[in-house]
Structure 1
């Protein structure tokens, strides 16, 4: 009989079995670190440590893929933050040793970020990772992180900073398990992009002894300690059944009765584009353009942008590529687009709001996209993030038209835009639901607050009601509404979304096959019935279980 099965939150699908490798907790400053004899020299040591951390992260970013690169570079920017360096220097001036000063400055900054909430709170894990690395540098010990793996292992930690996850050797990481984390954290998204099964919010994860065999189910959110051969064999058989079932379907997405649901990829740069372009997808539903800006000290020129965009567009030929214009601000500050401090940046001038304040940002981007589209002959469609009103949608559409691009759209990630979509979508050609932020704003729950994972569950009936409202508004004008949030890659939820009226689903390319299979096993009428079942449920868990019970057994047998 199998051992103890514990339940967390599954954030990346798949199953795996392997020995536990615990990520050691970070090195802490000595409790008795003496006051520096030379405050100036100690301050120089702190600055040198932060600079070394930034340089190391930059080097790691150069070897990372397109999804990981901007995340690692953003962490490097934290290490270069002048305010953090100043705060640490102030701590040295108060008589603290360099390691203690860094830790104290990080604690001070972390408290401020947590108080701000939203996107700033998301960066606390990154901030502490920078602090831990700098403390290790000062003490002359190895930086924290995942140890070198000699064989496929299950990596277990209290939490993993995005920079740590991005640096994982996917050939030796069978699965990831953390005690903290959330459904839409950068680490969860990276794990899904990398195809690594992952479970977060697992109580007692760090107490599992090193080397213990565990079976991880990233779909169910289950971790079984000391699994018996029956469970291991059952997981193996399920993987084989799943692979065989997925191999039977290919081509454009459609329900069993032929209703088209386009299956698209989420990408973040040139490497992603090359990889996704070679796969069986119908194009791109979300091209995140931030990677081009985050490490730049000045606005990239139109020619620089054009060259990058052309390289991204080329692998897709005549397939659609939906480009999200610059989504900066909050957790993605730009050195050349600082509008000053805000009380709550997550609800401030970010996304389209930043571009309205600084039109040169959006105009140069749209000009470059138009030139790249002309050069490649690609089907380019552009959409703006953080749109809340019809006036904002109209402003963006006029900008897109002036640039000579044929199709404009909006991200629907603010409840106001969903509830008034009949007016918002009247101004543009399409809408795309960013379900991660939509759930956060609908449920008033910080997407990085792991303890609120239940509220952020995309199966929440209230979130489904908001999605339904957005689709209904689009239907009034015959405007398509897609989904590019993480919920698009859940095969069961994809059926519900199709039933609500969603016309396209964009996700990590590794998730496309399972969604294609799910759609092929159900008619549109069946999807609509499943959507009604989900919306009628009392809780998110009830909604998922009700849909699972009513869905095709051929599908649920492999999930």
Structure 2
């Protein structure tokens, strides 16, 4: 069996004939000009954009769930006034409508591709919207999926658009393979929501010939061409064994010898509750409340906030709900607050707790709304401040929480200074929560939004593990709420470092719970010691896995 490899982003095994999804809408000719009627040309684009946006919304409503969220977001992009203005300027300069759409979208594609990371993985979404608008303008068929292909088939593409995949099911598609994408691409999000195996970032995938029998392992990232019957049977059996192992890993998180580790979910609001509950979250380890505040001209009222908080708290009776107060500034400006001075380095400027101290009324209103919501809730309400660096900042925040009637106040460990002097902070607060993404950014002086620096964001970096160990050994409960927790092997190492709770995207919870259940606390500690003894992320990962033999049962 010839093999190709990529990144497995949705677990399971799928087998079937390949169907290659090609680019159906050609690029409009460069230099094409319109007949001179600018108003009519702009009106053509506006009408085409509205038809595309309405169709995306209709598909989202039919699909529901995560797919609807993705497609509604795409409709908003299609209607974006900045893009519309770019297209209008090009048309005003004489460029034909379809070419103006192409050039305006390509400018944004280039910007996102250069940024990389999460935003870089949105390029496929822009390209799909662009092609759909151009198809509307030129009368060409919309890009789409096969109608008469043998089913279930393995869908292969350079990248996949949410509009094409939102209404698919396991009955139609056995697996996805793409050349582009990553763990946060919409192909990955929708594949996990559908329960369909997926491999992304698979170099050479579009060279697979239509109809070739393909075996996809969405856990290991392996793609096999023309496999034997035995190879198909073995891969599918292994996937089924993993599914069984996951199904038996239920209940509160714990190591094999019974050491408790709370399994929590990261959420942005009430719409994320269904997935958290479906995957067995014991509570919430990171409630990102800034999503209540972003893209608004006025701050949400305390009543609006209270309602949102009540919905979250009522979903986890008796369980912990860790609420992060507004984390604004940097890459998350707020329209209702005066802009801060022009900062050459926003990530190092007035953000997190620093901006809350400038505008304390915003935080006080948030704390009061949360305290009222907590009065008749049985959830264990905990509140924390972002970007705390000093004992003085920690004391200021804890005092504000106590004044509002909130009993459990903690801080995020995202600044190396806080990790290095965690012993000074621990007597002031009730708990720590480590944000590995920002902690890595500041430890390595590497902007997390710059794609070329992503290697510094690897949570297996031994120096990052050292900082986690310092915070976890300071004498207060210490959780981790970065996406590092979603790596089952690294989750075991974090527990070995002394972390008491793990919070992650909901789909990762069963895998982490199952991995912990297969290792004792001593094995986790041994893996942590081995990882910290190395000097590179890859060596740390390899050294730790040598002590975590139970991962093999999960195919990890």
Give the TM-score normalised by the residue count of structure 2. 0.84
Between the aligned partners of 1:162 and 1:412, the Cα distance in structure 2 is 36
Closer/same/farther in 2, CA of residues 436 and 93 from structure 1, 3 Å limit? same
Are 2:420 and 2:470, in contact at CA under 8 Å, matched by a contact in 1? no
> Aligned to 1:17, which of 8, 15, 18?
15
Between the aligned partners of 2:359 and 2:164, the Cα distance in structure 1 is 34
Are 1:287 and 1:323, in contact at CA under 8 Å, matched by a contact in 2? yes
Q: SS at the partner of 2:220?
A: coil
Q: Which residue of 2 aligns with 1:100?
A: 99
Between the aligned partners of 1:348 and 1:52, the Cα distance in structure 2 is 42
For residue 550 of structure 1, report the CA deviation from its aligned partner: 2.8
Closer/same/farther in 2, CA of residues 417 and 198 from structure 1, 3 Å limit? farther
> Aligned to 1:489, which of 479, 486, 491?
486
Between the aligned partners of 1:282 and 1:458, the Cα distance in structure 2 is 24
Are 1:166 and 1:190, in contact at CA under 8 Å, matched by a contact in 2? yes
Deviations 1:391-446 (A, max 9, x none): 55445434433433222333444545444444455543323233345455555667
Between the aligned partners of 2:165 and 2:422, the Cα distance in structure 1 is 37
Are 1:281 and 1:509, in contact at CA under 8 Å, matched by a contact in 2? yes
For residue 198 of structure 1, report the CA deviation from its aligned partner: 3.1
Q: Which residue of 2 aligns with 1:471?
A: 469
| Worse overlay, 128-137 or 200-209 | 128-137
Between the aligned partners of 1:335 and 1:34, the Cα distance in structure 2 is 39
Q: SS at the partner of 1:16?
A: strand
Between the aligned partners of 2:98 and 2:117, the Cα distance in structure 1 is 29
Closer/same/farther in 2, CA of residues 529 and 13 from structure 1, 3 Å limit? same
Q: SS at the partner of 1:376?
A: coil
Between the aligned partners of 2:76 and 2:471, the Cα distance in structure 1 is 41
Deviations 1:433-481 (A, max 9, x none): 333454555556676777776554433x33xx323323323422x2222
Between the aligned partners of 2:395 and 2:293, the Cα distance in structure 1 is 25
Q: Which residue of 2 aligns with 1:136?
A: 135
Closer/same/farther in 2, CA of residues 501 and 115 from structure 1, 3 Å limit? same
Closer/same/farther in 2, CA of residues 11 and 115 from structure 1, 3 Å limit? closer
Gaps of 5+ in 1: none
Between the aligned partners of 1:345 and 1:168, the Cα distance in structure 2 is 41
Closer/same/farther in 2, CA of residues 212 and 442 from structure 1, 3 Å limit? farther
Q: How many residues align?
A: 553
Matches within 5 A, 1:152-231: 152-160=152-160, 169=169, 172-185=172-185, 188=188, 191-192=191-192, 195-231=195-231
Between the aligned partners of 1:26 and 1:346, the Cα distance in structure 2 is 41
Q: Which residue of 1 aligns with 2:531?
A: 534
Closer/same/farther in 2, CA of residues 230 and 365 from structure 1, 3 Å limit? farther
Gaps of 5+ in 2: none
Between the aligned partners of 1:430 and 1:133, the Cα distance in structure 2 is 50
Q: Which residue of 1 aligns with 2:324?
A: 324
For residue 276 of structure 1, report the CA deviation from its aligned partner: 3.3
Give the TM-score normalised by the residue count of structure 1. 0.83
Matches within 5 A, 1:54-453: 54-58=53-57, 72-113=71-112, 124-141=123-140, 144=143, 151-160=151-160, 169=169, 172-185=172-185, 188=188, 191-192=191-192, 195-277=195-277, 280-289=280-289, 292-293=292-293, 298-327=298-327, 336=336, 339=339, 355=356, 358-359=359-360, 361-388=362-389, 390=391, 392-423=393-424, 427-439=428-440, 442=443
Confirm or deny that 1:34 pairs with 2:9: no
Between the aligned partners of 2:182 and 2:446, the Cα distance in structure 1 is 11
